[in-house]
């Protein structure tokens, strides 16, 4: 069928206002957050219920047209950007928001609910959601499951997969699979929702998720700690972590990034001089954790200086220095964005090798490193090169592989890193991944060109 006929069929399923075909309207959906990836969909379709999602997927399957699921379009690896000739299925109208179950501390929410809405909803029930990151206002629950989002609290609560108690999704053939009971114990074979976590829209369209919530911890302290370098930062995190169970975030910023962010946003720095590195630590508990954190930091000879905030305003100012890295870098670039992890004890030798390799082989490059140091996760942003420079990406990911790290810690593979999957996954694993894809999507109609090597 031609595009107009398909659009007309889709309009019958979801209503004409929910099928967008105008070039101008589709532009925002067809391009990614960074502006690096640009696609062209046949149409954008916005189903409002699980049944409508299933009908859309069936309709596209019958027409032999690929479907690209998209949530908040905040992904950083081009995974929600449509390949030519596909239908972009936007999940933002899937807004189910069930009441929080106070007995299990779980909740079922629609795929299109934003992470900020989920936080607010959990908060109204006196609970919290353990996963959080800078794109919370736009990123959706469905996207977070599909990418297995990590973020700022993984060291305490784990990633999105760790919160997943159930899922509802639509298969490639348009069948609805519902497993939303949230049973904590259920060993009737493999837990299929886990297969969808990190599948990036290639194995099914997620319509709702059952998520574990955590207690709300009212007392909070945030500290920005100056140190001499990454090795010292790793030591501080290890010491604080070992003695302070209330630790919930440990983030790293480095001199270049601090200079950029403070310069561009006109932010002040609570230190006399800009340190080589700084660690942002946050503890949360039922009782004020300030004393615990102070005691832990007093036991760290690596600490050069520390700024401590116990009130939300000053704490937000410290967080701004870290969270604003992404937007400031985007405004200068976009940079070549990579997101890698190594074992924490390899962070210092890895970054030293990486910076030396870039300085020697790509002298024009300007690397800015930051990230979730508590998880061994470094966001490698390279300014001064093309954001899609293949050789520079290969160079960085080669250093990661030599340090036995992962080429994607939390953003996923998407279109951006497909060809390097073999650096992280063995041939046997890639064969299994292909077999799973072939079994669940035999016609290759779900997000083709994403995740799986071509």
Q: What's the maximum distance between 2 C-alpha atoms anywhere in the chain? A: 69
344 binds ligand MLT (CB under 6 A): no
Distance (Å, rounded) from C-alpha 83 to C-alpha 61?
A: 16
Give the span between the Cα atoms of 231 and 130, in whole angstroms.
28
Say if CB 115 and CB 144 are below 8 A apart.
yes
Q: How far from each other are the two terminal CA atoms of the chain, in whole angstroms?
A: 26
Of 391, 382, 396, give the one whose Cα is nearest residue 341.
Answer: 396
Q: Residue 33 binds what, of ligand MLT, ligand FAD, none (CB under 5 to 8 Å, by partner type)?
A: ligand FAD
Which of 18, 92, 244, 326 touches ligand MLT by CB under 6 A?
A: 326
CB of 142 to ligand FAD, least distance (A): 3
Task: From the list ligand FAD, ligand MLT, none, pick the one residue 55 interacts with, judged by a Cβ distance below 5 to 8 Å according to partner type.
Answer: none
The SS3 call for residue 234 is helix
The string of DSSP letters for 239-301 reads HHHHH-TTEEEEEEEEHHHHHHHHHHHT---SSSS--SEEEEEEEEESS--HHHHHHHHHT-T
Query: Rounded to an integer, what distance in angstroms lies between the CA atom of residue 104 and that of residue 289?
Result: 27
- CB under 5 to 8 A by kind: which of ligand FAD, ligand MLT, none does 36 bind? none
Task: Report the residue closest to ligand MLT, judged by CB.
Answer: 326
379 touching ligand MLT, by CB under 6 A: yes
Cβ–Cβ < 8 Å for 140, 206: no
Please give the Cα distance from 167 to 194 (Å, whole number). Answer: 9
Nearer to ligand FAD, 85 or 299 (CB): 85
Question: 379 touches which of ligand MLT, ligand FAD, none (CB within 5 to 8 A by kind)?
Answer: ligand MLT
| Residue 211 contacts residue 290 (beta carbons within 8 Å) | no
Q: Which positions lie near ligand FAD, rule CB under 6 A?
A: 33, 68-76, 79-80, 91, 111, 133-135, 139-140, 142-144, 146-147, 149-151, 200-201, 205-206, 326, 410-411, 414, 447, 450
Minimum CB separation from ligand FAD for residue 340, in Å?
A: 13
How many residues interact with ligand MLT (rule CB under 6 A)? Answer: 5
Closer to ligand MLT by Cβ: residue 165 or 337:
337
Residue number, 45 or 385, with CB nearest to ligand MLT: 385
Q: Which of 30, 292, 339, 441 binds ligand MLT (CB under 6 A)?
A: 339
Nearest residue to 369 (alpha-carbon basis) of 358, 360, 306: 358
Which one of ligand MLT, ligand FAD, none is in contact with 71 (Cβ closer than 5 to 8 A by kind)? ligand FAD
74 versus 212: smaller Cβ distance to ligand FAD: 74
Nearer to ligand FAD by Cβ, of 44 and 206: the residue is 206
Q: Show contacts with ligand MLT in window 127-186 (CB under 6 A).
A: 134
**Does the protein bind ligand MLT through residue 232 (CB under 6 A)?**
no
User: Could you give the CA distance from residue 415 to residue 397 in angstroms, rounded to a whole number?
Assistant: 15
Task: In whole angstroms, give the CA distance from residue 86 to residue 69.
Answer: 10
Q: Which is nearer to ligand MLT, 289 or 371 (CB)?
A: 371
Q: Which is nearer to ligand FAD, 290 or 424 (CB)?
A: 424
Strands 205-212 and 214-215 come out as: unpaired
**Minimum distance of ligand FAD from residue 283's CB (angstroms):** 19
Closest by Cα among 400, 338, 412, 410 to 368: 338
> Which single residue is written with the structure tokens 């405004």?
331
Q: Which is nearer to ligand MLT, 379 or 418 (CB)?
A: 379
* 426 Cβ neighbours under 8 A, 6+ residues apart: none
State which residue, 121 or 325, has the beta carbon closest to ligand MLT: 325
User: Minimum distance from CB of 261 to ligand FAD (Å)?
Assistant: 13
Partner that binds at residue 108, options ligand MLT, ligand FAD, none, CB closer than 5 to 8 Å by kind: none
Residue with the closest Cβ to ligand FAD? 143
Choose the one of ligand MLT, ligand FAD, none that binds residue 297, judging by a C-beta under 5 to 8 angstroms depending on kind.
Answer: none
Cα 115 from Cα 129, distance rounded (Å): 9
Contact between 328 and ligand MLT per CB under 6 A? no
Q: With H, G, I as helix, E, B as strand and everything else as coil, classify residue 87.
A: strand
Residue 282, interface with ligand MLT (CB under 6 A)? no
Catalog residues that contact ligand MLT under the rule CB under 6 A: 134, 325-326, 339, 379
């Amino acid at each position: 069928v031609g595009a107009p006929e398909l659009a007309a069929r889709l309009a019958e399923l979801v209503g004409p206002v929910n099928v967008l075909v105008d070039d101008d309207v589709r532009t925002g959906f067809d391009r990614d957050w960074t502006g690096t990836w640009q696609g062209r969909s046949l149409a954008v379709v916005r189903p409002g219920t699980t049944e409508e999602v299933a009908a859309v997927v069936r309709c596209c399957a019958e027409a032999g047209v690929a479907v690209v699921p998209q949530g908040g379009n905040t992904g950083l690896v081009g995974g929600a950007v449509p390949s030519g000739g596909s239908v972009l299925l936007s999940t933002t109208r899937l807004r189910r928001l069930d009441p929080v179950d106070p007995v299990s501390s779980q909740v079922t929410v629609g795929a299109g609910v934003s992470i900020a809405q989920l936080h607010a909803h959990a908060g109204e029930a006196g609970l919290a959601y353990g996963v959080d990151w800078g794109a919370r206002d736009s990123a959706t629950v469905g996207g977070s499951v599909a990418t297995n989002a990590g973020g700022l609290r993984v060291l305490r609560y784990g990633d999105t997969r760790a919160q997943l108690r159930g899922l509802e999704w639509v298969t490639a053939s348009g069948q609805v699979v519902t497993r939303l009971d949230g049973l904590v114990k259920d060993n009737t074979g493999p837990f299929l929702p886990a297969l969808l976590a990190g599948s990036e829209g290639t194995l099914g369209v997620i319509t709702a998720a059952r998520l574990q919530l955590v207690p709300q911890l009212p007392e909070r302290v945030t500290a920005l700690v100056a140190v001499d370098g990454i090795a010292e930062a790793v030591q501080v995190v290890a010491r604080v972590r070992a003695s302070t169970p209330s630790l919930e975030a440990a983030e790293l910023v480095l001199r270049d990034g601090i200079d950029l962010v403070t310069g561009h946003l006109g932010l002040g720095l609570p230190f006399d001089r800009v340190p080589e590195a700084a660690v942002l630590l946050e503890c949360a508990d039922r009782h004020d954790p300030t004393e615990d954190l102070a005691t832990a930091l007093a036991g760290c000879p690596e600490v050069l200086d520390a700024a401590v905030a116990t009130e939300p305003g000053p704490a937000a100012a410290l967080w701004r220095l870290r969270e604003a890295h992404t937007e400031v870098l985007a405004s200068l670039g976009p940079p070549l964005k990579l997101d890698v992890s190594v074992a924490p004890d390899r962070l210092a030798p890895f970054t030293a090798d990486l910076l030396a390799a870039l300085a020697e082989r790509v002298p024009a490059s300007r690397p800015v490193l930051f990230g979730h140091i508590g998880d061994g996760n470094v966001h490698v942003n390279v300014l001064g090169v093309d954001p899609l420079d293949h050789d520079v990406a290969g160079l960085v990911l080669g250093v990661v592989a030599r340090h036995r790290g992962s080429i994607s810690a939390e953003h996923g593979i998407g279109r951006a890193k497909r060809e390097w999957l073999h650096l992280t996954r063995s041939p046997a694993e890639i064969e299994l991944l292909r077999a799973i894809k072939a079994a669940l999507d035999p016609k290759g109609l779900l997000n083709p060109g994403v995740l799986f090597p071509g």
